Amino acid sequence: MRTVVVALAAVAILAAPAHAQRHGKGGKNAASDQQSELRKKKASAAEKDYKAALDKIPDKPAADPWGGVR
């Protein structure tokens, strides 16, 4: 009986963090909607900056390994 109680306690202790992670920080509210809008704006701005930075990288000329021999 004692081992069953200890085993159940161990399972409960190990399951508690997983249960807390699954549920997150609660339900949605107006503040989280505003944060999600802010995140979307930041993500789109970051994506735009990333694409602009990629466009600034010059194209690499084709490599010619035999160029010095010819």
Domain assignment present for residue 41? The answer is yes
Would the pTM count as exceeding 0.85?
no
Mapping DSSP to helix (H, G, I), strand (E, B) and coil, where does residue 64 land?
A: coil
- 17 is a domain residue: no
Is residue 36 over pLDDT 80? yes
Q: What is the pLDDT of residue 31?
A: 62
Say yes or no to pLDDT of 16 above 80: no
56: alpha, beta or left, given left = phi > 0 and alpha = psi -120 to 50? alpha
CA dihedral 34, 40, 43, 47 (to 10 degrees): -150
Higher-confidence position of 34 and 5: 5
Whether 62 maps to a domain, the answer reads no
pLDDT digits (tens, 9 = 90+) for 40-57: 999 999 999 999 999 999
Q: What tokens were used for 44?
A: 């789109």
Residue 63 counted as domain residue: no
Domain that holds residue 38: 31-55
Count of the separate structural domains present in the chain: 1
